[in-house]
Structure 1
Amino acid sequence: WVGRSFLAGQLSVSRGLLISTPRGQAVVYAFYDGSQAPSITRLLGQFFLLRLLLEILVAALLVWIAVGRAMRPIETIRRRVAAIASGDLSERIPVPAGDDVVSRTAVTLNEMLGRLEANSKAQQEFISNASHELRSPLTTLLATVDRAAYAPERADWGEVTSVVRREGLRLSALVDDLFWIARSDEGGIEVHREEVDLDDVIEEEARRLRQMTGLQVDTSLVEPVRLWGDVGLLRRMLRNVTENAVRFAQSTIQLTSFYEMGDVVVEVHNDGEAVDVETSDRLFQRFVRADSSRSRSSGGTGLGLTIVSDIAARHGGSAQFIETTEGTTLQLRLRRY
Structure 2
Amino acid sequence: MADRARHRALHQTLHRALRRLVPRSVRARATFAATAVVALALGGTALALLGVLQANLTRDVRESAVRQVDEVAAVAVRQHLPPVISNPGGGSLRVFDAEGNLISATLDALPRPLPPVPFPPSVPDPDTAPEAEARAETRAETWAPFKRQLPPRGDEKEIVKLVDGGGRRVVSTSVSGPDGQVTIYASVSLGPVDAANRTATAALAVGLPLLVALVALVTWRVTGRALRPVEAIRSEVAEITGHDLHRRVPVPPTGDEVSRLAVTVNSTLDRLEDAGQRQRRFIADASHELRSPIAVLRTQLEVALAHPDPELWPELLADALQDTVRLQDLAADLLLLARLDAADPVATELLDLDVLFADVLDARPADRIPLRVELAPGARVLGNRTWLTRLLTNLVDNAQRYADGLVEVQLAVVEGGVVLEVRDDGPGIPEADRERVFERFTRLDDARSRELGGAGLGLAIARDLAEHHGGTLAAERPTGGEHPCGARLVARLPLAGPPPQGS
Q: TM-score, normalised by structure 2?
A: 0.50
Q: Which of 337, 362, 378 is the aligned partner of 1:207?
A: 362
Q: What is the aligned partner in structure 2 of residue 78 from structure 1?
A: 234
For residues 183 and 215 of structure 1, the distance between their equivalents in structure 2, rounded to whole angstroms, comes to: 32
Q: What is the aligned partner in structure 2 of residue 224 from structure 1?
A: 377
CA separation of 1:202 and 1:129: change in aligned 2, threshold 3 A: same
CA separation of 1:103 and 1:228: change in aligned 2, threshold 3 A: closer
Secondary structure, in 3 states, of the residue corresponding to 1:108?
helix
Q: What is the aligned partner in structure 2 of residue 195 from structure 1?
A: 351
Match status 1:99 vs 2:255: yes
Q: Contact 1:218–1:254 (CA<8 Å) still a contact in 2?
A: yes
AA in 2 matched with 1:330: L
Q: Shift of residue 240 of structure 1?
A: 0.9
Q: What is the aligned partner in structure 2 of residue 306 from structure 1?
A: 460
Q: Contact 2:400–2:407 (CA<8 Å) still a contact in 1?
A: yes
Q: Shift of residue 65 of structure 1?
A: 7.4
Q: What is the aligned partner in structure 2 of residue 295 from structure 1?
A: 449
Q: What is the aligned partner in structure 2 of residue 274 from structure 1?
A: 428
Q: Contact 1:225–1:257 (CA<8 Å) still a contact in 2?
A: no
For residues 332 and 277 of structure 1, the distance between their equivalents in structure 2, rounded to whole angstroms, comes to: 18
AA in 1 matched with 2:467: A
Q: Shift of residue 99 of structure 1?
A: 2.7
Superposed, 1:171-190 pairs within 5 Å as 171-190=327-346
AA in 1 matched with 2:422: V
CA separation of 1:176 and 1:94: change in aligned 2, threshold 3 A: same
Secondary structure, in 3 states, of the residue corresponding to 2:280?
helix
Query: What do the CA deviations read for 1:203-255 (whole angstroms, capped 9, x no partner)?
Result: 2333334x343432223x33334312222221111111111112122333222
Q: Which of 493, 500, 503 is the aligned partner of 1:334?
A: 493
Query: What do the CA deviations read for 1:161-218 (whole angstroms, capped 9, x no partner)?
Result: 221121111111111111111111111142502132x222332333334x34343222
Secondary structure, in 3 states, of the residue corresponding to 1:103?
helix
Q: Contact 1:265–1:332 (CA<8 Å) still a contact in 2?
A: yes
For residues 475 and 224 of structure 2, the distance between their equivalents in structure 1, rounded to whole angstroms, comes to: 59
Q: What is the aligned partner in structure 2 of residue 10 from structure 1?
A: none
For residues 97 and 264 of structure 1, the distance between their equivalents in structure 2, rounded to whole angstroms, comes to: 47
Q: Contact 2:409–2:422 (CA<8 Å) still a contact in 1?
A: yes
AA in 2 matched with 1:148: A
Secondary structure, in 3 states, of the residue corresponding to 2:435?
helix
> Which protein is bigger by CA-based radius of gyration?
2
For residues 229 and 417 of structure 2, the distance between their equivalents in structure 1, rounded to whole angstroms, comes to: 53
CA separation of 1:138 and 1:226: change in aligned 2, threshold 3 A: same
Secondary structure, in 3 states, of the residue corresponding to 1:85?
coil
CA separation of 1:189 and 1:90: change in aligned 2, threshold 3 A: same
Q: Shift of residue 128 of structure 1?
A: 0.9
Q: What is the aligned partner in structure 2 of residue 320 from structure 1?
A: 474
Query: What do the CA deviations read for 1:240-287 (whole angstroms, capped 9, x no partner)?
Result: 111111212233322222222222222222232222245312111211
Q: What is the aligned partner in structure 2 of residue 251 from structure 1?
A: 405
For residues 171 and 249 of structure 1, the distance between their equivalents in structure 2, rounded to whole angstroms, comes to: 25
Match status 1:168 vs 2:324: yes
Q: TM-score, normalised by structure 1?
A: 0.73
Q: Contact 1:191–1:229 (CA<8 Å) still a contact in 2?
A: no
Q: Report the number of matched residues.
A: 280
Q: Shift of residue 121 of structure 1?
A: 1.0
Q: Shift of residue 334 of structure 1?
A: 2.1
Q: Contact 1:309–1:319 (CA<8 Å) still a contact in 2?
A: yes
Mean alpha-carbon deviation: is it higher for 101-110 or for 292-301?
Answer: 101-110
Secondary structure, in 3 states, of the residue corresponding to 2:240?
helix
For residues 218 and 117 of structure 1, the distance between their equivalents in structure 2, rounded to whole angstroms, comes to: 44
AA in 2 matched with 1:305: L
AA in 2 matched with 1:281: E
Q: Shift of residue 305 of structure 1?
A: 1.0
For residues 326 and 295 of structure 2, the distance between their equivalents in structure 1, rounded to whole angstroms, comes to: 12
Query: What do the CA deviations read for 1:6-46 (whole angstroms, capped 9, x no partner)?
Result: xxxxxxxxxxxxxxxxxxxxxxxxxxxxxxxxxxxxxxxxx
For residues 327 and 86 of structure 1, the distance between their equivalents in structure 2, rounded to whole angstroms, comes to: 43
AA in 2 matched with 1:81: V
Q: Contact 1:225–1:264 (CA<8 Å) still a contact in 2?
A: no
CA separation of 1:254 and 1:160: change in aligned 2, threshold 3 A: same
Identify, as 1 or 2, the structure richer in strand. 1
Secondary structure, in 3 states, of the residue corresponding to 2:343?
coil
For residues 424 and 260 of structure 2, the distance between their equivalents in structure 1, rounded to whole angstroms, comes to: 52
